[in-house]
Structure 1
């Protein structure tokens, strides 16, 4: 039976995850050759967050916590593929433990210190088990890469797709990966059929990078027809034209962002995802002042707001009241009334291009 005081302590640590993450990133940043080298900062942050979640789950004895961790396995292999040296990787694991222990001590004060002391051995067991899992996966993947002479290529791919390579280094990477510097490329970020598509792009003069969650594929264009139009089975975030290898890193970041916004089994292009991306950026800049743009619209009941939003979205896409009415099986006058109702609430007339643009971005239409 679980000790309720121990579970209370674990809950405190879970609530303290932002502080744990901040402490981990601060300490790791003092170690050269990790963050910003082969491993992107967002990868580091996502991994640390998942590691602390795994520690908490195992310490609390959650269901399935005793099973081998697929996350630890994937992490060890990914770090090996990214070319991180084993001593640097394991130092990051040790930092995880130090930050976790400090977080436990902080959470235990002043009333749960006895609970922490009673479970100190359990903490050591959980961390040692995690370290063993990630190190074993790392070494197994390193051995496999050494046997197949892939280490140099994987490092080159990581540098290319991170956008960190420039000048002579970029030319060397292009030579190593057999990429032409004189052709135009297209890019797809996908979570489906990554292994098969990776083989196909390699066979056709392209390259790929797998970050553990998404496969980013770079392929020379074959003419005016976009890759995703020629193959309707593709899904994810798509960038149609990449003018030069020096833009691969930026294109990859955009493609991954678009893939996160794509509907299941569908392709999301920059035009499709632009409003959503712009909305996130603008909401951060305009926090606390969006009412200046939307008026009283956000204050109406959710059902009414959703009903108006469907009509607005369809009208902005079609630009026609008649087509909107036909697609939504409404009378044309009903469409007109809803657009006027939205104008009364927000002050935005979506028949005017400027107001339509504001509504499309701010309301994510």
Structure 2
């Protein structure tokens, strides 16, 4: 029978022998870690892996000493091991190693240490090894836990840093109406996007901006979306597709499903990052033209009349006031009938179709159109005059 003192002395001998075999442990680790595909083709060089493996096993073996586990089990050597694990986790995160590959690599430490202990021990050491297996596991497990904690923290920091860089370059794209070639090149590299591709952009404010931002920054979007916030407005833009060798763009405009139900200004397509500032201004203008009844994105093709009306009002011209005054003599529901007829006619350009929709005789439609022309002076056969009417009703 061995007493605790005998076990302690023998354990110390085995630990010292492990110290003398650190190089062999490191080489065995190198052979096995390269069986993990991600390490075999990673940016971590062989020399760096070897040095890290030697340092890891050196510190782990130090952690196996009996004196390391007295009372709280923490002293200078133990703290040094933990500091090393923090450095290692951060390094592997920066090297782009995946968490799964890191876990597989760290798990090798226990198996290699334990296999070597079995190799250098004697058959009569079996009870001793049985009593110490938990210690070996705890030392390696704590090292692994700290390594993973540092790895995760570094990944979060890197993601935040990358996000900050993206935001910075997106802000640069929005800050000037004329973008330099250097700004475009640097921004496209930071955003990992094609500077010459076609893009779409939407803009929203108030409650719609909150919804737009939540969707764009949420995990539910499969499309890569870029977000910018300025002056109470939220802008979201995305790439439509790269140009082919002949300069043609194969994909037409599309809008992510989550944005399709948000009232916002929408520029369906513009060419290259150089066109972003102008497209953003247009999207912002369209957002200002939204009506309470709008339930989705508003395009320039759908809102051109609203935009023209707003600009004319800004210039002091109110087409609606003139039209309202011209129709004032109508009595007994005549105005409503005339407006309904004209609106349907403008939407189709066909008198027969208008008559069918309104369940009226064709001559009734003609009479109403003539009456409208007499009151307003607008000839519905003249496009320039019709445009005034469309803008007034926008």
With normalisation by structure 1, the TM-score equals 0.50
